[in-house]
Structures are given as structure tokens and as C-alpha cells.
């Protein structure tokens, strides 16, 4: 019984790989590459591509040891309401973690100025580049916003990859 | 022109600079940023009794100087063991530190104080800040209150009160610790503030008086001492004496975990002491122009060739030891040791104990020194006769877990500053 199930499974996979997929490629009118389709599907959700420079920034953010020293010298904390912005340490340990969540930090990033973080960056024991992280976050937020504005709603069936 | 360059500005670097300055040397402290001292509990852990069974409070009530000798006897790689011939000067070093920081530190105690931590444990400390030493478990009165704020989720007075009662019973004494809730911080945004900001709020004119009025209304009768969260003032001296005066009841701060207001207070007191002594602080990274040349590049200030240099860059937090693919010392590329073995590119798992509370060699990695505090080079001989090391960049101890962290920093800093100043005086005498 088990071997028949396995045989059926293998045959189905062979059909998909050798017949269905090549035929779909042959008659598919969509000119986009696989990577482009991937981006078109996920960018509206906020998953935007990362460049090598972006990855460097994220690696630097990962050096944060959550000591909180930057918060003690964060000039922005006395300027921006706490319900909007909760301290420089969050730039490294929270805001930079996932681009889909960046729109939630829009109000904080709009009010945050890099010069307010100069002292916070100087006292960081592990040299997390807070000002560069702010630049990165603002840039990524613009990208995410742009992608979301460009996105044209498509029926679910049209987006499904198994059509 | 500086006679002595101190690289690193935490406890070890500052005490080394002050020690060298006291002996007449011109000193520059170059530091990149704040380090582990600003994150410390604020108390000075000198040495616990290494033979005391876990949880045995009575054994910890020993002289920290005797305990340091015991550490030196039982742990041959510990800095106290390498400097054992000069261990009788430990008290002199601690007294020097207390004299340099009169606004925050009490003089060294005859025995270890048992100070409460936010985790509900007690920690033996040979010296403490004036606002902390009153919380010593062995000298607390029988009936105390621990203040709970309605904000500050990292501090739970119930855990501290229960931990103190448990520790007191192990010490064979009675202690009743009650929890008093304070409603002083009422603003909706206060719940989001960290300890530094809460401390700054208490620094505002009239705030401590209002805090005292709030507490007075809530204190049950018969309370003979009050323990508070470590947020009693961000700037300069702690507000604990003022609060004691207002409440007519001794008030002390519990030790802090990071982020630490008392740790920052300690660092700022060190910076102020450097300023009073005429030591320049440069906030810059330091590079060695060529290993062994004695020439250092200080950021944009150009190269200098001091008569002596002191490496007090700390361990992993301070950036004195790096570990990416391998362990390295970034300023002079000095060889590093884990115990007696060279730490080069070992798998880090081999240097960690199986249990969290075990002895992790990885956290003890550092430069090896001789009995004159000179770091050893690859041949096992001093790397440079004009170079000294102090604090947690030295191998053989784990500053976070050994409970000898700031004690070693003060002792090695004091001796390194003295040794560097001797070289300067010798050079002056030769050239003069």
C-alpha cells in the first residue's frame, strides 16, 4: 500500500516537472523573470530587496548588546513623545528587524534627526552606527511605501503560483 | 605632550591615569566610548570567599583582602595570583579609589557587605557607593520596607524582599521585609521611561520632596530602613541622603542591573576625578603605528610616543578583546590566553562550560601579564617594557561572574599607573 502511494507521488512529481511545467513555460505570456515575479508578489507586503550595503548595516545593528547606554544620552527622547518613539536602542533591536513592520515606525522616523543621536552613538560600547541605521530605515521606509503605492490589487487566483 | 597614554577610560584606565598623575606624570586617557564600568551594579566587588558553599551567607562575611589572598591561592591564573607579592597593597589601592571619588564611594569595608540585587540575590562587595552600603544585609535593621514603583518593570520589590528574607534566614538573623507601593510616577508616559529618565525626573527641583511626601503617606509604622530602586538621581551625588533626611529613616539603593544609573554615576565620578587631576580625555580610537615601536595614532590628533602606555581597553564589552572568527586584541595584536593555553582560533564551544553557572574559559580570555603588569608577547617575554595592562583585558578572570571585577580593575590600574609613572620619572632623571 505504502509503495503504491509513493509510486503515485513520484509519478505526479514527474508529470509536474516533465509535462506541466515545460508546457506552462511554453505558453506563458508573462515576460517577467522568476525573481521579478517574486518581488512583485512580496514587495507590496513590505519585503523589499536588500543590497550588500544594507546587509552591512544590519550586521552592525546586530552588535547591539541591549545595554541601554544610548538611551541615557538620547536627545530625541526629550523631544519626541514616548508613545511615538521609545529610545535609540530600539533602532537596532526592533525597528531594523523587519521591513514589513517599518510603516509602524513612520511617525518616529519622521521626527527623528540624525544629529540627535550623535552622543548616543559615541557612547555605544559596541559601536553600533545608530545614525547610519536611521538613514537606512528612512530609505527602506521610502522603498516600502513606494512599493505599496505602486501595487495594483490582483485577484487571489491570478497571484497563485500553482495555476 | 603626554608622558603616559592610557588606552581605555573605564575603572581600570581611570584609576591608572589618576595613579600616574598623582606621581607627577602628564597623562592622556584615550577612549572610544563608555564600557563595562558604566554598566556595572555600581558596587565594587573585590573578592568573595572562593571556598564558600553556594548560598552560604556567613562565609561571605570575611575581609575582602583575606578573600583575595584565598582567590590567589586557589586560582593560579587569576590576576591576584600573578600579583600575589603585592596583594598587601590592595587596601591601599581601594582607599586611593575611594579618596578620588569621595562624592560616590564609601571607604573600603573591613568585611564584605552583602548587598541586594534586583534578582532577589545578595552580592558580596568590598566597597560600595554611599547610597548602597546601607543596604548591607548583615547590618540592616529587623524591619525594613522595599519600595515598589508603579513603573519600571525591570525592578520587582517583591522578589527583592523575598530574597532578602531568605538570605537573612541563612545568615541566622531575623528580617521582615515589607513591600511599599509608591504612586509617585503617575504620568502615562512614565510607564515607558527607562531608569535613566526616571532618575532625571527625580533630579528636578522639588521632585525628591514630593517623592518623600508620597512615601511618608504609605510607610507602615515600625519601618527602620527603606530600600529603593537604583534611580535616586542621575546627576552627581545620589539623592539617598536627602531622602533619608526627609523621611527621617535611612534610605539605600538596591544594586542595579544594566542599564545602570549607579554604574553611570560611577563612570561620571571617574571622569570628574580625571578633570580635577588635570588628565585629558580624548574620545577616539587608538591604533599602534607599528607593533613594538611605542608610537600610537590617536584619531585625528596624529602620532604620539609616550614614555609609557597602559592598555585598559576591557574585554568584550569594552572592545579590548574581539571575537569574530578568532580571538584578537585590536590595538597591538597581543597574544591572548585562555588559562595557560594560547587562544587563537579555538571553537568557542570548547571554552564554554556545560552549565551556565560553570567556569567559562571563553569569558576569561585576555592578555597574559608578568608580575610587573607587562603584557607578554608571543615568546612569553614582555611585549614592550614600556607597556602595561590593567583591568579586564588581562586573562584569568571573568569580570562579570567572578565577583572580583572592579576590585581587579582598581588594583591593577593603581599598580600599572605607578609602574608607568616610575618609567617616566626614570626617563626624566636620565635626560635631566
Per domain, the residue ranges of chain B are 4-47+280-431, 133-254
**A3 domain-assigned:** no
Thinking of the domain B4-47+280-431, which architecture would CATH place it in?
A: 3-Layer(bba) Sandwich (3.50)
Place of cell 502615562: B188
pLDDT value, residue B167: 94
Task: Say if residue B259 is preceded by a cis peptide, omega within 30 of 0.
Answer: yes
Kindly determine whether residue A126 and residue B317, on different chains, have CB atoms separated by under 8 Å. yes
At A104, list the grid cell. 509602524
* A31 vs A37: CA distance, rounded Å: 10
Q: How close B317 gets to chain A, by Cα (Å)?
A: 6
- Using an 8 Å CB-CB cutoff, list residues of chain A that contact chain B: 65, 67-69, 71-72, 77, 81-83, 86-87, 122-127
- Between A67, A77, A86, which is nearest B258 by CB? A67
Measured in angstroms, the CA of B72 and the nearest CA of chain A are apart by: 30
pLDDT tens digits, one per residue of A40-95: 888 888 899 999 999 999 999 999 988 889 998 998 888 888 888 889 999 998 89
| Cβ proximity of B211 and B232 under 8 Å | no
Size of interface A-B (CB pairs under 8 A): 51
Is A35 among the domain residues?
no
Min distance B260 CA to chain A CA atoms (Å): 9
φ/ψ of residue A89, rounded to 5: -60, -30
Determine the Cα–Cα distance for residues A46 and A102; give it in Å rounded to an integer: 8
Range of the domain at A119: 42-150
Which chain B residues are Cβ-neighbours of A79 within 8 angstroms?
none
Residue of A122, A125, A127, A129 to mutate, testing the B interface (most B Cβ within 10 Å of its Cβ): A125
Q: Place A152 in a pLDDT band, splitting at 50, 70 and 90.
A: low
Q: How many domains does chain A have?
A: 1
Low-confidence ranges of chain B (pLDDT < 50): none
Who among B34, B194, B318 is closest to A123 (CB)?
B34
Tally of CB atoms within 10 A around B246 = 17
Comparing CB atoms, the residue among B36, B189, B194 nearest residue A71 is: B194
Q: Which CATH class is domain B133-254?
A: alpha beta
Q: How far does B403 lie from chain A, in Å, by closest CA?
A: 19
What are the tens digits of pLDDT across the range B9-49? Answer: 999 999 999 999 999 999 999 998 888 999 999 999 999 99
Taking CB atoms and an 8 Å limit, are A125 and B34 in contact across chains?
yes
**Nearest residue in chain B measured CA to CA from A121:** B33
**Do the chains contact at B259 and A72, CB–CB below 8 Å?**
yes
Task: Determine, yes or no, domain membership for A110.
Answer: yes
From A137's Cα to the closest Cα of chain B, the distance in A is 23
- Residue of B36, B192, B198, B391 for testing the chain A interface, max A β-carbons within 10 Å: B192
Contact residues on chain A for B34, CB-CB shorter than 8 A? 69, 123, 125
Q: What is the DSSP letter of B109?
A: P
* Residues in chain A within 8 Å Cβ distance of B196: 68, 71-72
d(C-alpha B294, C-alpha A84), whole Å: 50
Q: How much is the pTM?
A: 0.88
Contact assignment for B34 to A81 by CB distance below 8 Å? no
Tell me how crowded residue B221 is: count the other CB atoms within 10 A of its CB. Answer: 5
Kindly list the residues from chain A whose CB atom is less than 8 angstroms away from the CB atom of residue B267.
none
Sequential DSSP letters for B290-306: STTS--EEEGGG-EE--
Please indicate, yes or no, if residue A75 is contained in any of the structural domains: yes
What is the C-alpha to C-alpha distance for residues A72 and B264, in angstroms, rounded to an integer?
A: 9
- The Cα–Cα gap between B59 and B55 comes to 9
B189 CB neighbours in chain A (<8 A) are: 81-83
For A68, the closest of B35, B194, B283 (CB atoms) is: B194
Instruction: Tell whether A30 is covered by a domain.
Output: no
Question: Taking CB atoms and an 8 Å cutoff, what residues of chain B touch A118?
Answer: none
Q: Name the minimum distance, in Å, from the CA of A46 to any CA of chain B.
A: 28
* Contact flag B33-A127 (C-beta cutoff 8 Å): yes
Q: What is the CATH number of the domain that holds A115?
A: 1.10.1060
For residue A17, give how far its alpha carbon lies from the nearest alpha carbon of chain B (Å).
Answer: 42
What local confidence, expressed as pLDDT, does residue A157 receive? 62
Examine residue A11 and state whether it is found in any structural domain, yes or no: no
Ramachandran angles phi, psi of A91, nearest 5° = -60, -40
pLDDT range class, residue A163, cuts 50, 70, 90? very low
Give the residue from B207, B206, B64 showing the smallest Cα distance to B125.
Answer: B64
Q: Which residues touch B190 (CB under 8 Å, ≥6 apart)?
A: B150, B151, B198, B201
Q: What pLDDT is stored for residue B348 in this prediction?
A: 80
Amino acid at each position: 500500500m505504502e509503495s503504491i502511494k509513493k509510486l503515485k507521488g513520484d509519478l505526479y512529481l514527474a508529470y509536474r516537472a516533465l509535462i506541466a511545467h515545460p508546457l506552462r513555460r511554453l505558453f506563458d505570456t508573462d515576460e517577467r523573470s522568476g525573481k521579478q515575479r517574486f518581488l512583485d508578489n512580496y514587495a507590496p507586503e513590505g519585503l523589499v530587496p536588500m543590497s550588500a550595503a544594507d546587509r552591512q548595516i544590519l550586521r552592525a545593528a546586530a552588535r547591539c548588546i541591549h545595554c541601554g547606554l544610548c538611551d541615557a544620552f538620547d536627545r530625541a527622547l526629550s523631544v519626541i513623545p514616548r508613545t511615538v518613539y521609545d529610545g535609540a536602542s530600539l533602532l537596532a533591536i526592533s525597528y531594523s528587524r523587519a521591513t514589513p513592520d517599518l510603516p509602524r515606525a513612520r511617525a518616529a522616523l519622521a521626527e527623528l534627526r540624525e544629529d540627535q543621536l550623535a552622543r548616543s552613538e559615541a557612547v555605544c560600547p559596541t559601536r553600533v552606527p545608530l545614525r547610519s541605521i536611521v538613514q537606512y530605515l528612512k530609505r527602506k521606509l521610502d522603498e516600502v511605501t513606494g512599493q505599496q503605492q505602486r501595487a495594483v490589487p490582483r485577484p487571489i487566483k491570478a497571484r497563485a503560483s500553482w495555476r | 605632550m603626554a608622558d603616559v597614554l592610557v588606552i581605555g577610560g573605564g575603572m581600570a584606565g581611570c584609576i591608572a591615569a589618576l595613579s600616574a598623575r598623582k606621581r607627577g606624570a602628564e597623562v592622556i586617557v584615550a577612549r572610544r566610548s563608555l564600557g563595562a564600568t558604566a554598566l556595572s551594579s555600581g558596587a565594587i566587588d573585590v573578592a568573595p570567599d572562593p571556598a564558600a558553599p553556594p548560598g552560604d551567607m556567613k562565609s561571605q562575611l570575611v575581609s575582602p583582602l583575606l578573600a583575595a589572598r584565598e582567590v590567589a591561592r586557589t586560582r593560579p591564573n587569576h590576576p591576584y595570583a600573578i600579583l600575589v607579592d603585592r596583594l598587601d597593597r590592595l587596601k591601599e589601592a581601594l582607599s586611593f579609589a575611594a579618596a578620588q571619588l569621595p562624592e560616590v564611594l564609601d571607604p573600603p569595608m573591613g568585611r564584605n557587605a552583602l548587598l541586594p540585587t534586583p534578582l532577589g540575590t545578595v552580592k558580596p562587595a568590598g566597597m560600595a557607593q554611599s547610597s548602597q552600603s546601607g543596604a548591607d544585609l548583615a547590618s540592616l535593621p529587623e524591619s525594613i520596607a522595599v519600595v515598589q514603583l508603579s513603573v519600571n518593570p525591570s525592578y520587582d520589590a517583591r522578589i527583592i524582599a523575598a530574597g532578602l528574607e531568605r538570605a537573612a534566614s541563612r545568615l541566622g538573623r531575623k528580617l521582615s521585609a515589607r513591600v511599599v507601593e509608591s504612586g509617585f510616577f503617575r504620568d502615562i508616559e512614565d510607564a515607558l521611561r527607562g531608569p535613566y529618565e526616571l532618575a532625571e525626573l527625580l533630579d528636578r527641583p522639588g521632585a525628591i520632596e514630593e517623592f518623600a511626601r508620597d512615601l511618608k503617606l504609605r510607610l507602615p509604622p515600625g519601618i527602620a530602613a527603606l530600600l529603593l530602586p537604583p534611580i535616586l538621581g542621575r546627576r552627581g551625588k545620589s539623592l539617598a541622603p536627602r531622602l533619608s533626611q526627609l523621611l527621617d529613616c535611612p534610605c539605600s539603593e538596591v544594586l542595579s542591573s544594566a542599564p545602570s544609573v549607579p554604574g553611570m554615576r560611577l563612570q561620571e565620578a571617574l571622569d570628574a576625578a580625571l578633570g580635577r587631576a588635570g588628565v585629558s580625555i580624548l574620545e577616539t580610537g587608538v591604533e599602534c603605528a607599528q607593533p613594538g615601536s611605542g608610537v600610537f595614532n590617536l584619531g585625528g590628533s596624529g602620532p604620539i610616543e609616550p614614555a609609557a602606555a597602559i592598555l585598559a581597553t576591557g574585554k568584550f564589552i569594552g572592545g579590548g578583546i574581539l571575537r569574530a572568527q578568532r580571538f584578537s586584541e585590536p590595538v597591538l595584536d597581543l597574544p591572548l590566553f585562555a588559562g595557560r593555553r594560547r587562544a587563537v582560533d579555538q571553537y568557542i564551544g570548547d571554552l564554554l562550560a556545560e552549565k551556565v553557572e560553570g567556569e567559562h574559559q571563553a569569558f576569561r580570555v585576555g592578555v597574559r601579564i608578568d608580575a610587573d603588569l607587562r603584557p607578554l608577547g608571543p615568546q612569553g617575554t614582555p611585549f614592550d617594557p614600556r607597556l602595561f595592562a590593567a583591568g579586564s583585558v588581562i586573562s584569568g578572570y571573568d569580570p562579570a561572574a567572578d565577583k572580583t571585577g572592579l576590585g581587579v580593575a582598581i588594583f591593577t590600574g593603581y599598580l600599572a599607573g605607578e609602574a608607568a609613572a616610575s618609567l617616566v620619572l626614570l626617563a626624566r632623571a636620565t635626560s635631566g
